[in-house]
Amino acid sequence: MVRFRLSTGASETIAWLGLLLMAVSFLTLLLTPEPFSPRLIVSHYKKAEPFALVILDPGHGGQDSGAIAGGVLEKDLTLDIAQRVGRLLDAQGMMTLLTRNGDSYVSLGDRARLINRADNAVVVSIHLNDGLRPDVSGIETYFAAQQATGIPLIASWLPFLQKVANPRPNLESQSLAQFIQQQLVARTQAVNRGTKAQQFYVLANVRHPAVLVEGGFLTGKNDIGKLAEANYREQLAMGIADGILKYRDTVKALAGSGASP
């Protein structure tokens, strides 16, 4: 029997073509339009506003409890804080949307897809920290240094396509993080752990300015008592809301002056 044998170079070429075909298949699937959720339609807002919608993302939920300390679950507190922020912003005439409204599990991919179906929005993901030492405490706010704009989710799956996604510097998210961090510390007098760049999934894979707040250490002896109090969580919510409003007003003023944010 005559055997046909490919050269090493030809084999590698075929392997790369197969990988490219797989990537194209992924792209076709991702770029196929999804039915738009009626809950995300924003029909009435002031056209002069920098954004029409604030998406609040309470961390964890359902079987994913997040951090646990003394029977207190992160998933319960993040939802409570998000709902408080929503009420405060609603009172200011701003439209809000929560990625979960109860104790339900929502995957990171589903959160990102929900966020990306919205138009003209900013995103605040709310979490509580845990740590190895009980003496650690404080608040910190994260932003993604870069967001994938060309291919929303593919870069996280296939690292070799990250260059194709054409990431750009994420100055809007960085500014939003700074405003929120400043107002959180002012409201709570908590230890200021600053703003930090981190490629968290829900920050790096969405197309809107997005930040992730760590509102304290649930495992920290200085923070757990405060976080368990409704009044302190209200102060956290007020800090987040204040930061969002200050960011909005600053962007609005810069747009009016013709300067770049």
pLDDT digit string (tens) for 198-217?
999 999 999 999 999 999 99
The rounded radius of gyration (Å) of the Cα atoms in the chain is: 21
Write out the two tokens for 170.
């994420």
The pLDDT value recorded for residue 20 is 56
The pLDDT value recorded for residue 29 is 45
The pLDDT value recorded for residue 168 is 57
Is a pLDDT exceeding 70 seen at residue 25? Answer: no
**Using an 8 Å Cβ cutoff, are 142 and 198 in contact?**
yes
What H or E segment, with its residue span, contains residue 225?
helix 224-227
Q: Is the dihedral of CA 189, 191, 194, 195 positive or negative?
A: negative
Model confidence band, residue 261 (pLDDT cutoffs 50, 70, 90): low
Q: Which carries the bigger pLDDT value, residue 114 or residue 151?
A: 114
**Using an 8 Å Cβ cutoff, are 150 and 164 in contact?**
yes
Kindly report which listed range (28-42, 63-77, 126-140) carries the lowest average pLDDT score. 28-42
Delimit the domains of the chain by residue range.
53-257
The pLDDT value recorded for residue 255 is 84
The pLDDT value recorded for residue 52 is 95
The pLDDT value recorded for residue 161 is 46
Angstrom distance (rounded) from CA 144 to CA 39: 26
Mean pLDDT of 14-19: 52
- What is the DSSP code (8-state) at residue 161? G
pLDDT digit string (tens) for 117-150?
999 999 999 999 999 899 999 999 999 999 865 4
Angstrom distance (rounded) from CA 121 to CA 143: 15
**Using an 8 Å Cβ cutoff, are 210 and 122 in contact?**
yes
Q: Is the dihedral of CA 197, 88, 130, 225 positive or negative?
A: positive
Task: Tell me the three-class secondary structure of 52-106, residue by residue.
Answer: CEEEEEECCECCECCCEECCEEHHHHHHHHHHHHHHHHHHCCCEEEECCCCCCCC
Is a pLDDT exceeding 70 seen at residue 158? Answer: no
CATH code for the part of the protein at 53-257: 3.40.630.40
